[in-house]
Amino acid sequence: MSERSVPDPASPGLAVVIAARDEEWLIGATVRAAAALPGAAVVLVVDDGSRDDTAAVAGAAGALVLRHGANRGKGAAMETGAEGVRLLEDAAPRSAPRHLLFLDADLGESAAGAAPLAEPVCSGAADMTIALLPPTRLRLGGHGYVGAFARDGIRRATGWEPEQPLSGQRCLTRAAFESVRPLAAGFGAETGMTVDVLRMGFTVVEVDVPLEHRPTGTDLRGQLHRARQFAAIARALAERELRPALARRGRRLRQDVRAAASATAATARRASRRRLMGR
């Protein structure tokens, strides 16, 4: 067997986590392609309340499958997957923490092209990578108003402007992932993760990868998806804009309380001295 087929359990490798909902037509091909990636030790699919046979197809393709009884959103599915990987590691005492490679369920056979995402993380050159789709797809300025909104929000929060802020294909170290939990809810997960990872001082790079997935249509269903995406990203950004302000307000409040307590104690001491002198 090749070295890739039998990874050293004591060396960091890749745990591929795929959040999926109603993806029975593509999840099998995605799982098989992901399992063949260099260093992939496990492929774990989180079925986020699917109404079709996503879980069964993923399991038949060789993935470990965790299921949400009801749809809980992408952020929750990503966290469930990462927690499942951690439990697997805990069950194998010699295993090192795996780097987490998050892939979308609808990549199909193109998931085989995800290897460049892992290389900078495995080599220590970056703490998180984000996929740039091929030049034939929309790049900077693309993704319409939702992508532009997320891009501008990340820039305002961190000073860094990503080309493809909504990309769900990303690899990161376990340390980087754990530092930004809990993730933002739903479709705000990637935007919130990018802001939080950068604010924690980790290194983020975008990497060209030959991945293709199903584009969001322009019909009513597609527009509703974009509306939900926009709302989730807005919540994620608002939460991250509020956190520093609330932290500053909390520090000022604590300082005011300490100053008031000190002044009260000083007043009490002066009153006590006056009473003693009066006696």
Residue 125's CB is within 10 A of a number of other CB atoms, namely: 11
pLDDT digits (tens, 9 = 90+) for 15-74: 999 999 999 999 999 999 999 999 999 999 999 999 999 999 999 999 999 999 999 999
Share above pLDDT 70 across residues of the chain, in percent, rounded to a whole number: 79
Cis omega (within 30 of 0) for bond into 210? no
Phi, psi of 168 (to 5 degrees): -90, -5
Instruction: Assess contact for 105 and 150: CB atoms under 8 A.
Output: no
Asked if the structure places residue 19 within a domain, the reply is yes
Number of folded domains that form the chain: 1
Per DSSP bridges, beta strands 170-172 and 128-132 are antiparallel
pLDDT digits (tens, 9 = 90+) for 165-177: 999 999 999 999 9
Instruction: Assess contact for 106 and 26: CB atoms under 8 A.
Output: yes
CB-based burial, 237-253: b 16+ in 10 Å, e otherwise: beebeeeeeeeeeeeee
Asked if the structure places residue 29 within a domain, the reply is yes
Rounded CA-CA distance 196/61 in Å is 34
Asked if the structure places residue 77 within a domain, the reply is yes
Domain that holds residue 130: 14-242
Residue 231 three-state SS: helix
Q: Which two tokens stand for residue 37?
A: 């990636």
Q: What is the CATH number of the domain that holds 185?
A: 3.90.550.10
